Amino acid sequence: MIVRMWRGWVASERAGEYVDYVTRTGLAGYRQTPGNLGVEMWTRDLGDGRAEVTTLSWWESLDHIRGFAGDDIGRAVFYPEDDGYLIDRETTVTHHEVARRLG
């Protein structure tokens, strides 16, 4: 199992709006892609007017991630309205093999 992780930053007061938007776009895209095993979106208020947003998605394999992200799986996928929300963003993602999962 592979975990794909991405981070971005939005204005704190818009964090809820951004979560709703990404739920309709990116998270829906993850869930519709064969081989996706789930997704979570985390937010954290940094106390300086920004909120950090992290998405984590679980996949059966790197090949399944290609079904969502295309051939360059290290590049983040963005949607048209992201620019209206994001103050800053990582343009790359990280992938990790799940060594152990309990629960």
- When mean pLDDT is compared across 2-6, 24-28, 44-48, the lowest value belongs to 24-28
Quote the Cα angle for 91-10-35, to 5°: 50
61-90 residue pLDDT tens: 999 999 999 999 999 999 999 999 999 999
Most distant CA atoms of the chain, gap in Å: 39
- 38, pLDDT greater than 90: yes
* Reported pTM: 0.91
Place of tokens 């990404």: 22
* CA distance linking residue 45 with residue 3, whole number of Å: 23
